[in-house]
Amino acid sequence: MKKEIANWGNYPVMESDEQQFSFDDQLQQMVKDTHHFIPRGNGRCYGDASLGGQTISTLKYDKILSFDVQNGVFECQSGLVLDKILEVIVPKGWFLPVTPGTKFITVGGAVGSDVHGKNHHVDGSFSNHIVEMDIVLADGRVLTCSPTQYPDLFEATCGGMGLTGMISRVKFRLKKIETSCIKQKQIKADNLEHIIQLFEEYKHYTYSVAWIDCLKKGKGFGRSILILGEHATINDLNDKQRKDPLQLPKKKQITFPFNLPSWVLNTFTVKAFNFLYYGKNFKKEINNVVGYEPFYYPLDAILHWNRGYGKKGFIQYQFVVPMNAKQGLIEILQRISDKGIGSFLAVLKVFGKQESLISFPEEGYTLALDIPVRKGLFEFLDELDQIVLKYGGRLYMSKDARMKPEVLEAGYPRLQEFKDIVKKYNPDGKIRSTQSDRLLLTTN
């Protein structure tokens, strides 16, 4: 059915013919019969990675195939949303090995973007935990791949933005937990130097992330809050929590009802927000035990918060620079603060070592910024791209809606190898997105 679709950033919006399926045989037929298409999960990537003239949505293809409760191995169809997985595994004492900052993504999307969580430096990205998966190739054939079976297909599918084929079945390992709570520590950092030093000091923590105020100038430039966490053990819980240590969060969600006019989100309001946010954490350090939802998914509590950025939408700019390129981080934050570009969200994380073909993570610092679309923004981001490249970094395709193909090429040293594998399994570029065409990954 033809309809207007956009991903989380609401930019770009485009008309697409979207097909849905529920069964394996239907999927294979659809892939064979469709002229060209891109797989689409829950549209939680920000830009145009799962957009195209034709899309095949996995959302009705969401069945659990097996769950080995003893060994924590879970198998499902690719359209299953993480939220639904948690409902099943948490009460049995298991957790997702890696989760992004929202639980409203599909397993297919988790693999297509090879998502990372706050524990990347300890547990790597999602694909590190895959036992095997099935891919429906452009010609309708189904191949089972793993790190040892069709390893080229496997590697190029992890983070390959759907271009190798439709991921249909994924089997992956879970993480054992004793309770559904997180022992959280929040530390306030005065500036950028300080937060980097804190990351270093607390790197033994499984989960870590920092929220940065990127408008503050002068001495407080880069002031932030470091949020650390560990899965709580029974001993960490109070008596009330101990009665049901693996309980699921109670459902309560607020929906952001409409698009805010874009003037609402000007520098002033962002400053006020940041003032309140950082002001709230008046103590130097807070330690507490919280449910897993506020810890992993603080933004999910407000459905459709993306509408707060107005009709024109926004871009999330996420890059990584190597460990020794802190200066790059400073330079970019400086540029943003000079430009006075409002961003509610500036999230800093540290990645651990990762060898990958096309996945985003590599050892270093990664920063993600939300910036509303406005005149001059893309030119400004082109300048930031140059700084990222100068320091040997790269951008996250899952958040991208505008980078130039040269920027991708300069950031991913194994790009040609990736393109060759895509060509092998998707020879006519039948599987293609607006993004892959823009980045010259599928145009012949």
Ligand X SMILES: Cc1cc2nc3c(=O)[nH]c(=O)nc-3n(C[C@H](O)[C@H](O)[C@H](O)COP(=O)(O)OP(=O)(O)OC[C@H]3O[C@@H](n4cnc5c(N)ncnc54)[C@H](O)[C@@H]3O)c2cc1C
Instruction: Give contact residues for other proteins (rule: CB under 8 A).
Output: 1, 20, 22-25, 60, 62-67, 77, 87-88
Cβ proximity to ligand X: between 138 and 161 the closer is 161
Cis omega (within 30 of 0) on the bond before 12? yes
Residue 378 binds which entry of other proteins, ligand X, none, with Cβ cut-offs from 5 to 8 Å by kind? none
Residues from 82 through 101 that contact ligand X (CB under 6 A): 100-101
Tokens at 393, concatenated: 């970094």
Our measurement of the distance from residue 65's CA atom to the centroid of its chain's CA atoms, rounded to an integer in Å, reads 25
Q: Please, which residues have CB within 8 angstroms of residue 168's CB and are 6 or more apart in sequence?
A: 24, 27, 61, 77, 78, 133, 134, 135, 136, 142
Ranges of H-type helices in 128-238: 151-157, 192-201
Whole-number minimum distance, CB 305 to ligand X, in Å?
8
Whole-number minimum distance, CB 98 to ligand X, in Å?
8
For position 186 contacting ligand X by CB under 6 A, the verdict is no
Whole-number minimum distance, CB 174 to other proteins, in Å?
13
Antiparallel, parallel or unpaired: β 73-77 and 94-95: unpaired
Cβ proximity to other proteins: between 3 and 353 the closer is 3
Cβ proximity to ligand X: between 191 and 366 the closer is 366
Cβ proximity to ligand X: between 51 and 237 the closer is 51
Q: Which stretch binds ligand X (CB under 6 A): 12-20, 62-70, 102-110, 275-283?
A: 102-110
- By CB under 6 A, name the one of 103, 116, 169, 216 that touches ligand X: 116
Q: Got the DSSP string for 153-172?
A: HHHHHTTSTT-S-EEEEEEE
For position 161 contacting ligand X by CB under 6 A, the verdict is yes
Residue 254 binds which entry of ligand X, other proteins, none, with Cβ cut-offs from 5 to 8 Å by kind? none
Residue 38 binds which entry of other proteins, ligand X, none, with Cβ cut-offs from 5 to 8 Å by kind? ligand X
Q: Got the DSSP string for 377-396?
A: HHHHHHHHHHHHHHTT-EE-
Whole-number minimum distance, CB 356 to ligand X, in Å?
13
Whole-number minimum distance, CB 63 to other proteins, in Å?
4
In angstroms, rounded to a whole number, what is the distance separating the alpha carbons of residues 130 and 122? 16
Residues from 292 through 311 that contact ligand X (CB under 6 A): 299
Residues from 359 through 398 that contact ligand X (CB under 6 A): 398
Applying CB under 6 A, the site for ligand X has a residue count of 32
Residues from 11 through 70 that contact ligand X (CB under 6 A): 38-45, 49-50, 58
Cα–Cα–Cα angle for 68, 74, 79, nearest 5°? Answer: 150
Tokens at 72, concatenated: 């924590």
Whole-number minimum distance, CB 408 to ligand X, in Å?
14
Output phi, psi for 408, to 5 deg: -65, -45
Sign (positive/negative) of CA torsion 157, 160, 162, 163? Answer: negative
In angstroms, rounded to a whole number, what is the distance separating the alpha carbons of residues 318 and 370? 9
In angstroms, rounded to a whole number, what is the distance separating the alpha carbons of residues 167 and 116? 18
Q: Where along the sequence are the contacts to ligand X (CB under 6 A)?
A: 7-8, 38-45, 49-50, 58, 78, 100-102, 105-106, 108-109, 112-113, 115-117, 161-162, 166-167, 299, 398
